[in-house]
Amino acid sequence: MSKIILETRGLTKHYGGVHALEDADFILHDGEHVAVVGDNGAGKSTFVRQVTAVEQRSSGEVLFDGRPVHFSGPLEAREAGIETVFQTLALADDLDVPSNLFLGRELFKFKLGPFSWLDRKTMRDRTLEALKTTAVKIPNVDNPIRNMSGGQRQCVSIARTAAFASKLVIMDEPTAALGVQETAQVENIIRGLKDRGIPMILISHNLRQVFDLVDRIVVFRRGRIVASLRKDETDGNDIVSYITGVKGTQDSVPAQ
Amino acid sequence: MAEAHGLGGLKYDPAKRTRAPEWNVFGALVLIVVIFEVLNRVNGGSFLFNMRDNVDAIFNQQRLDIMILQVAIVGIISLGVTQVIIIGGIDLSAGSVVGATAMVVMSFAQTAMVNGNPNPKAIFGDWAMDLPVVVPIVVGLACGLGAGMVNGLLVAYTKIPPFIATLGVMVSARGVARWWSNGQPVSFPTEGYGALANGDIMGSLTFGLFSWQGQNPAVIFVILAILFHVVMTYTLYGKRSYAIGSNEAAARMSGINVDRHKLLVYTIAGVLAAVAAVLLTSKNLTAQAGMGVQYELDAIAMAVIGGISLAGGRGSIIGTVLGAAIFSVIISGFTSIRLDAYYQEMVKGAIIVGAVVLDQWRQRTRARG
């Protein structure tokens, strides 16, 4: 197997007395797409928030690209090469598509501190390019995204992630609020990432989608990782058994 | 491709570029001018045009001059206030900063001898008399810079609401203005200082090609408006401003140093208020502690009328310039139809409220369905 891009050892997060994440050992290889599934409150999002440093972990280790890391915030994680699509969209509604894609990493004609001159044409061209490679159709990228549908906005958010993805992409329920067509678009973007060999962690409730897209499925239950299964070694029923606790817990009753 | 969108089933075609809201404001400006023209015609006069036979001119030059001058000084303040509103803030201190800066500036612009007698309003000793014009300008801009920085530091780093922070500075700065000379006006500036507003900068800039005596504030307003239009449209500063006003959390997540940017925007607004103070004192050849009262509200009104959303993230410098023009046309228009000053104030208030109601309505219309 190729090298390990992300590893967590004993990753734990307590909110006061609530043990949201307990002792999570997780490995992601380069180029691998892994789904994280589990019931609501199973610790999926908590896990992601620790990895991307949106929150600071209670204990445990995170190794990224072979080195132990301690990001102080999501920005540092992004600079290290972890691109994340969060459940709540991090988009500026009043800006157009190129401005959102390049928010915080604008291109310049010349630099002059805060008064640096924006290279709007190149940013626009690259945006169209990025949207093309991700097959996202936005009728007019010059309009503020406020006027766009939820799906289009999500696609902008994901296109941004895909366009700048370098080492690792994390998506937290990217299709939760989308229609059928838009979901298909997002799934195409994810397949594109696979072709480019960029590893991904996908949080999803949609098992059909999970089986369609990823190589391996990791199941969370009550803050613990209870299973890590290769897609071809398992099936939907098996995964559901782990999610609901029929399998994988000491007190589970074996099926008759 | 058109889909039902927003209030009243307005059609929004996503393939088309949305029309800039500035066009609506421009339309309103034209409409208001036409209304006042008609109202004047009914009484046998004219709002815009010259009606006197003994004067050879197309337009009513006198009224235009007053209108332009009226809009220019508060307009300069409004340029800064606009930027503050775009980042999702508010600046209530501008008027008081004008007052305080006016007092300080004038103290460094005084002339030693008035009609052969020592300056009766002298604040400092001889050392501060007949200084080169650049001294009061620099002192004034420094005052505005300081006041703006106080606003910015309070808003960005103490995290108190901008309304409260700038309200505090508004009250304190007015106190400074009154304390400076115990409420006495500061008067009799040097000739050079008086020329700042009353001279002919247009003539010097165009090497005598165009001349516009006494309208320096308007010329400077236009230059600053163009400058900040360019800055807000083409530079990182503008992009950051709109991003912060649009979604501060997203801006932070994207690596924008939001606090530092806020400090910068409030500081620029303070400097612009100081520019207005310099021009105002130069124009009037005196400074009084009550100068600039309510200017902050007029400046906010101009911005709001020009389509700047108080929620932040939306609006433009062009909008504010048009809003300022509307504001000025309304005031001159009321005077032209001889509406009593008391009524003018009342109607002005109604217009401000109306503009905000319109803004709210616009927001609801634009909200995604």
Q: Residue B324: which of B85, B36, B81 has the closest Cα?
A: B81
Q: Which of B142-146, B229-233, B353-357 has the lowest mean pLDDT?
A: B353-357
In sequence order, the β-bridge partners of residue A33 are: A200
Tokens of A125: 């061209």
Confidence of residue B285 (pLDDT cuts 50, 70, 90): very high
Q: Is A118 in Cβ contact with B236 (below 8 Å)?
A: yes
A103 with B243: Cβ contact below 8 A: yes
Chain B residues with CB-CB distance to A106 below 8 A:
236, 239
| A116: contact with B, CB 8 A cutoff | yes
Domain annotation covers residue A251: no
Torsion of CA B180, B183, B185, B186, to 10 degrees: -10
Using one digit for the tens of pLDDT, what is the confidence trace for B199-215?
888 888 888 777 777 78
Which residues of chain B are within 8 Å of residue A96 when distances are taken between CB atoms?
none
Q: Is any Cβ of chain B less than 8 angstroms from the Cβ of A222? A: no
Say how many domains are in chain A. 1
> Please, are residues B158 and B137 in contact by the beta-carbon 8 Å criterion?
no
Six-digit token pair at B366? Answer: 């634009």
Of B1, B18, B237, the CB nearest to A143: B18
Give the pLDDT score at B10: 39
Chain A residue numbers touching B308 (CB-CB < 8 A): none
- Nearest Cα of chain A lies from the Cα of B16 at a distance, in angstroms, of 7
SS (H, E, C) chain A: CCCEEEEEEEEEEEECCEEEEEEEEEEEECCCEEEEEECCCCCHHHHHHHHCCCCCCCEEEEEECCEECCCCCHHHHHHHCEEEECCCCCCCCCCEHHHHHCCCCCCEEECECECCEECHHHHHHHHHHHHHHCCCCCCCCCCEHHHCCHHHHHHHHHHHHHHHCCCEEEEECCCCCCCHHHHHHHHHHHHHHHHCCCCEEEECCCHHHHHHHCCEEEEEECCEEEEEEEHHHCCHHHHHHHHHCCCCCCCCCCCC
Shortest Cα distance, chain A CAs vs residue B223, angstroms: 17
C-alpha torsion angle, residues A96, B221, B142, B256 (rounded to 10)? 0
Answer whether residue A23 is part of any domain.
yes
Instruction: Convert the pLDDT of each residue in B230-240 to its tens digit.
Output: 999 999 999 99
Token pair of A243 as six digits: 């999610």
Please list, in sequence order, all residues whose beta carbon lies within 8 angstroms of the beta carbon of residue B285, skipping any fewer than 6 positions away. Answer: B187, B188, B189, B194
* Lookup: tokens for A113: 């501190």
* pLDDT for res A181: 81
Instruction: Determine the pLDDT at residue B171.
Output: 96
Give the lowest-confidence range in A98-107, B219-228, B230-239, B313-322.
A98-107
| 3-state secondary structure (DSSP) of residue B10 | strand
The nearest CA of chain A is from the CA of B22 a distance in Å of: 15
Domain with A221, as residue range(s), is 4-244
Q: Is the pLDDT of residue B337 over 50?
A: yes
Q: Mean pLDDT for chain B?
A: 87
In a domain, A26, yes or no: yes
What distance in Å separates residue A95's CA from the closest CA in chain B?
7
- pLDDT the model gives residue B7: 35
What is the pLDDT at residue A88?
65
8 Å CB contact of B264 and A94 = no
Taking phi over 0 as left and psi of -120 to 50 as alpha, with beta for the rest, A231 belongs to alpha
pLDDT tens digits for B83-139? 999 999 999 999 999 999 999 999 999 988 888 888 888 888 888 888 999 999 999
Q: Is residue A253 part of a domain?
A: no
Bridge partners (DSSP) of residue B4 are B11
Q: In the predicted model, what is the mean pLDDT of residues B276-300?
A: 93
Q: Which of A78, A105, A140 sits opposite B16 (nearest CB)?
A: A140
User: In the predicted model, is pLDDT for residue B345 greater than 60?
Assistant: yes
DSSP lists the bridge partners of residue A19 as: A14
Highest mean pLDDT, choosing among A46-60, A221-235, B141-155, B196-210: B141-155
- C-alpha distances in Å from residue B206, one per residue of A9, B202, B210, B212: 72, 6, 6, 11
Max avg pLDDT among B7-16, B111-120, B141-150: B141-150
What chain B residue is nearest to A114 in terms of C-alpha separation? B237
* Closest listed residue to residue A44, CA positions, set A202, A186, A235, A200: A202
- Tell me how far CA of residue A44 lies from CA of A20, A22, A50, A243, B160, in angstroms: 9, 11, 10, 12, 35
Nearest to A223 by CA among A17, A11, A22, A35: A22
Helix axes B61-86, B94-107, angle to 10 degrees: 110
Distance from CA of B90 to the nearest CA of A (A): 18
- Residue B163's pLDDT is what? 95
> Which residues from A are below 8 Å from B250, CB to CB?
89-92, 103
Q: What is the DSSP letter of B8?
A: G
Establish if B98 touches chain A: CB-CB under 8 angstroms.
Answer: no
Task: Check pLDDT > 60 for residue B11.
Answer: no
pLDDT score of A255: 43
Report percent pLDDT > 90 for chain B.
Answer: 53
Q: Is the pLDDT of residue A254 over 50?
A: no
Query: In this complex, do A95 and B243 lie within 8 Å of one another by their Cβ atoms?
Result: yes
Residue A185 covered by a domain: yes
- Say if residue A84's pLDDT is above 70: yes
- Tell whether the model's pLDDT for residue B3 goes beyond 50: no
* CATH code for position A235: 3.40.50.300
The percent of residues above 70 in pLDDT, for chain A, comes to 95
Q: Hey, CA dihedral for A36, A41, A42, A47, is it positive or negative?
A: positive
- Does residue A195 come out as left (phi exceeding 0), alpha (psi in the -120 to 50 range) or beta? alpha
| Whole-number Å distance between alpha carbons of A156 and A141 | 10
Q: Does B243 touch chain A (CB under 8 A)?
A: yes
Q: Considering only B140-149, B302-311, B343-352, which range has the smallest mean pLDDT? A: B343-352
A206-226 confidence digits (pLDDT tens):
899 999 999 999 999 999 999
Does any domain span residue A83?
Answer: yes
Residue A47 lies in a domain: yes
Cβ–Cβ of B12/A147 closer than 8 Å? Answer: yes
pLDDT band at A7 (very low <50, low <70, confident <90, very high): very high
Cα B302 from chain centre: 7
User: Which H or E element spans position B249?
Assistant: helix B248-253
Residue in B247, B263, B266 to test binding to A, most A beta-carbons within 10 Å: B247
Average pLDDT over residues B214-228: 93
In this structure, are strands B117-118 and A224-230 parallel, antiparallel, or unpaired? unpaired
Q: How far apart are CA B268 and CA B302, in angstroms?
A: 18
Residue A214: exposed, middle, or buried by beta-carbon count in 10 A (0-12, 13-18, 19+)?
buried
Q: Which of A75, A118, A139 is nearest residue B1 as measured by Cβ atoms?
A: A139
All structural domains of chain B, each given as residue ranges with its CATH number in brackets, are 19-37+60-364 (1.10.3470)
In the prediction, which pLDDT does B341 show?
83
Task: Give me the pLDDT at residue A236, please.
Answer: 87
Does A256 score more than 70 pLDDT?
A: no
Dihedrals φ, ψ of A96, to 5°? -80, 180
- Whose tokens are 């008035």? That residue is B114
pLDDT digit string, tens, across residues A128-168: 988 887 777 788 888 888 878 777 888 888 888 888 877 89
* Integer Cα distance of B296 and B311 in angstroms: 18
Per-residue pLDDT band for B56 (boundaries 50, 70, 90) equals: confident
Query: Is the minimum CB–CB distance between A110 and chain B shorter than 8 Å?
Result: no
Where is pLDDT greater, at B306 or A147? B306
